Structure 1
């Protein structure tokens, strides 16, 4: 095994992991937005939205 192969393999592995984390984060955000929209559609609201309406706390 040459030194260059080790370096290229390391960069390739690191690039693949970074791409995986980016894709995982993007997909999770997509599914959370979809889940939030479905909850809001059935009438469940966010707690932060209640404060904006004039909660005395």
Structure 2
């Protein structure tokens, strides 16, 4: 790891914040995709029942 000097705290906290935000975006995207998939399956089931 390079020597960051007096900026080490700032740089490392920026890296940490970026990683946290990326993980949050991935988790929210997966969660939303699963929710939409369930809603679409329910809609398809209703349409099949009603002809």
TM range (shorter): 0.7 to 0.9
Q: Which runs of 5+ in 2 are unaligned?
A: 1-5
Higher helix content, 1 or 2:
2
* Structure 1 unpaired stretches of 5+: 45-57
TM superposition outliers: structure 1 runs of 4+ over 4 Å:
none
1:4 offset after TM fit, Å? 0.5
- Across the two proteins, how many residue pairs are aligned to each other? 43
What CA RMSD, in Å, does the superposition of the two structures yield over aligned residues? 1.2
Q: Does 2:44 align with 1:43?
A: no
Instruction: Give the structure-2-normalised TM-score.
Output: 0.78
